[in-house]
Amino acid sequence: MASSNGTPAPGEEGKPSPAVAEGSIGGYESLHRLLEANLSPELFKEASRLLLGLNCTRPLEAICLPEGATTLAETHNFDVQAFSFGADKEFLRQPRVVRVGLIQNSIAVPTTCHFADQKKAIMEKIKPIIDAAGASAVNILCLQEAWTMPFAFCTREKRWCEFAEPVDGESTQFLQELAQKYNMVIVSPILERDVNHGETVWNTAVVIGNNGNIIGIHRKNHIPRVGDFNESTYYMEGNTGHPVFETAYGKIAVNICYGRHHPLNWLAFGLNGAEIVFNPSATVGELSEPMWPIEARNAAIANSYFVGSINRVGTEVFPNPFTSGDGKPQHADFGHFYGSSHFSAPDASCTPSLSRYRDGLMISDMDLNICRQIKDKWAFRMTARYDMYASLLSEYLKPDFKPQVIADPLIKKKS
C-alpha cells in the first residue's frame, strides 16, 4: 500500500512487487519510486532536485489527504499522490490557491464485451476515484482522453464509433451529477457525435461547471498520422480554435493528446489567457515515453501556466489483429499505455508521476499567482517578437515561399 504522497508503506521501502507487473520498472511503479527505494536519502534528495526542480526555491511539499480518500484508494487499488505548488507572497494580491486533480485508468472489462457493458464498467471503475477527488476537496478534475472506451482507433474498425455520444449524452449526465455533488469543475474528454451536423464524429473535451452546467467544448486540434494512431479514420481536426474556459476556480484550457507535440498549439492557449492547460492523452511507451516528461514541462515554462498531463494505463487487446503499415507482423494490441500522469508548473518544477500500470489520482494545490510572477520574472511575452514570427508564418503560407537560406559561395555545388 502507498501513502497519500505516493511513498511505500512502512517496512515496504525498497521492495519491488512480488509479481512484476506489466509496465513496471523492475517491479517499481515509477522512476521516482525506484530511485527513492535504492538511493540514500541524500542522493535521492539531489536526484529529485535535478529531475523535478524546485518550487520557489523549495522541494514540492506532499499534501496529507483525508482518510476517506486514502481508504478509497486502498479499497479500489489506485495510486493517489498529492503535492502543493506555492508562489511568492505578494503585497497587493491574496494567494489564489486552487486544488486540481487528474485521473488515469485502464479499461475495466475485455474489449470483446458488449459495448454497453464496457462503458458501464468504466464508469463504475472511475466513480470511486472521483469520489476520492471529491473527498479531497478537488476544485477542478480532468479525465483521460476518450475515457469512456478503449482506445480502439488503432483498429480502423468503424464499429467503435458506437461509443460516440452527443455533448449532453450519458457520460456528461453521469459527471454532471458528480460535479454538482462535489462543487467541482470536471473536464470530460469523449468521442463526440455532432447530431446537428450530419452526426459527424469528433474527439472532444466537454467542460462541466461546478454547478453541473456545460460551460463549453473543445475539439482536438491536431490529429496524428504516425504508427497505429489511425485516428483520422474516425475524426478530423477540430474546429473550435483555442478556447479558454473561465471557471469558478480559474481559466483553463484543454490541449488534447497529440496537440502537445505542436508548440504553437500550447502558445495559442497561453495567448488566450489560460492559467491551467490539461493534456488528456493516450500514448504508448515505445513511441512517445522519452517525450512525455519534457513537452508538457516545456510548455508550462514557455507559456507561464500550469500543465496537467494525463495518460491511460494498461494494454488493451482487441478482437481482430491489425497492421501498422510498417512491415511488422499483425498484432491485436496498441502497446502498453504507461500512465505516468503528473503536473508541471511555470517555474519549471513538476510533481513525480503516477504509476506506470495502476489507476491513479494525482492532486495538486497550485497558487495561480505564480503564473504572473513568472511572466514578470522572465518577460517571455515582452521579448517574444510575435510580429517577426507572424511575418514569417504569413510568408510561409504562400505558394511561392522561399526559405531564407544564405549559401556559402565557396561551396562547390554538385550538378
* 177 part of the active site: no
Query: Of 220, 231, 316, 350, which one is the catalytic site residue?
Result: 220
Backbone angles phi, psi at 119, to 5 degrees: -65, -45
Query: Of 142, 257, 350, 371, which one is the catalytic site residue?
Result: 257
Compute the distance between CA of residue 80 and CA of residue 346 in angstroms, rounded to an integer.
23
Compute the distance between CA of residue 148 and CA of residue 154 in angstroms, rounded to an integer.
16
CB of 278 closer than 8 Å to CB of 308: yes
Query: Of 36, 119, 142, 145, which one is the catalytic site residue?
Result: 145
Compute the distance between CA of residue 334 and CA of residue 224 in angstroms, rounded to an integer.
14
**Three-class SS state of 79:** strand
Spatial strand order of the sheet with 97-104 comes to 61-62, 79-85, 360-367, 97-104, 140-142, 185-194, 200-208, 214-219
Instruction: Using alpha carbons, select from 264, 201, 303 the residue that is nearest to residue 393.
Output: 264
Give the dihedral sign, CA 245/249/255/257: negative
CB of 45 closer than 8 Å to CB of 53: no
* 402 part of the active site: no
What residues act catalytically?
145, 220, 257
